[in-house]
Structure 1
Amino acid sequence: MQYRKIGNSQKIGQSGLDVSVITFGAWAAGGWMWGGTERSDAVKAIKESYEAGVTSIDTAPIYGQGLSEEIVGEAIKGIPRDKVQILTKFGMRWDLAKGDFAMHSKKNDGQAIDIYKYAGKESIVKECEDSLRRLGTDYIDLYQIHWPDKTTPIAETMEAVAQLIQQGKVRYAGVCNYNADQMREAAESIHLASNQVPYSMVKRGIEAETVPYCIEHGKAILAYSPLERGLLTGKMKPGHPFSADDHRAKLHFFKDENLKRVNAFLEKIKPLADDKGATLGQLVLRWTVEQPGITIALAGARDARQALQNAAAMDITLTPEEIIFINGHLNPLELVS
């Protein structure tokens, strides 16, 4: 495994946080929007992933409405706290109708819930305490606003996180799904370590503004959904059956025509993966973290086998010529909306 530093600052006492280049993404572990979860499998996946060098885990309260954080807390028991990096989030409430309405949804048990994007100061303080309790820890390494909340001034949100840092409950501040302008505004109130944004071979919109901003200002980019929710593994074929509560069924990426086009592209780069003794998913993960500005890739897993496969992506290398070869087949790829 390789590690990269985020959160570098000129401030005394801020030397940065080392995170594993493949970070365990614990959304699916919480089951919510993924057709449920098997808790023991998720715990084992995190534990074995850690043994393979994946020391960083990204979660959020909304993932299973607290379940994902509880699973992470269970999985890291017994691991020295300074050997694991916990990345979690705030700003999505399913238990409070306040802020910017996000969506109607359902819990894993089928109970209907309404979710709001809300990042007011008092809410952040409460969320932090709840997360610390579920995670079984007294501090969070990277605390990230999950989505922009247009009802709360960014300065108010960041001042609340700064207070938590001062209290020792949070080490570093990050954002998720922020554009460059929002990052600039947030940076007026706090030292930002990172921005967690969607990025994959078929979703590269951040390359226009967000990546250049982060490179210029030394901010880490945590790429989520680098395998585009399984699309880029080559395992999904036209007609793939999704369960009723699997959110992917409604995404255009998984239309039969797009599955055909993506799989045709993957077949073209498969010989390279075969030459390296790697899966397509591993090749895609390695490509992702070699892109300009991309610091780490978040990779989810439902079981230990998937987790270990993800970790092993860092065992392969890509030469500049091989990246050019991949891009040569990738750049003409167009998906239908």
Structure 2
Amino acid sequence: MSSTVTYYLEGYLTPDAKRHKPNTNAKSGSALGSALKKKSPPGPVYEKGIEYWDGVDASVNGVLGGYGEGPVPHIEQLSSRLLLLSLIPSLSPFANPLTPSPTLKPLPAHRRTVLDVGAGIGRVSRHVLLPLFDDVVLLEPVDKFVREGYRAASSGEWRDLPAQNGEDEEQNRRLDQQRNDIKGSKGRGKRVRFVKRGLQNLDPKYPVDEQAEEIGLVSSPKSEINGEGGCMEDEVLYDVIWCQWCLGHMNHEDLVNFLRKAKKALREGEDHYIFVKENCCDDAPGGVGQEFLDEEDSSLTRSHQKWVDCFIEAGLTVKREEIQQGMPDELFVVKT
């Protein structure tokens, strides 16, 4: 079983990420991280974090803290897709700059499935994950976020999930293309399972447990889904688990436990990864890992070494790490 994690550290915070404070020393009098100077630093308060996000607009601009209307989302999404394709070139069915002469293999018997945790309104699922995978399990604790994602997907706003009401020429064209791809063994149809749930005590294999609320399934074309397994199995196994701008709401113990369970939820074999894309503050002197509590949204910003310490404790190996380029200078460094 794969035991690697792609530490995709990016260079920017947002509410969809952990969120934005400059990667410099806090101003005098700031409460940021002050409590962590004590011997027993407090961790994030889950309920306080939910309360904070309940006050944020369920829009790209809302979850990205005001950066959603410029180039930031496009740059960030493109970087994530390129990273996925560079590590798993078989996700691309055609030649591209990363794999100019790909050895095209038959589709695997199973439906390629990805878990998107702390997914917000589904921005990453919609633009990064669903175009490359067959099935997505979208998991988000904030009610209005997950319901907005479900509304947009089920109404045909997601390109890979065209509406099937026959009223829009472009929607019908996309449906016909999907059906042709399925008949030509170039695709299997797409599905997204929307689940309202937090990460605390989550076992990714069983995303719909007693703490979860199933919001709904969006599938297109509905009657032409091929392939084994996928997001609707009683026990879900994943090709990729994607964690972006959400793990800061977990304390150290909960985070390590989640990563251990996530590792066990990956399919056996190669090309199966956990991706972590988060903001990073500076390490303490001597390269020692540290973390700072943002009391506004009750989340932790961890330094590079602190993330690595968590991965090692969870039994993971860092396969690759990248800094997200093209982000505003005033924001934290983002790594994947």
Q: Bin the TM-score by the shorter chain.
A: 0.3 to 0.5
| TM-score (ref. length: structure 2) | 0.37
Which structure: greater helix fraction? 1
Higher relative contact order, chain-length normalized (CA < 8 Å, sep 6+): 2
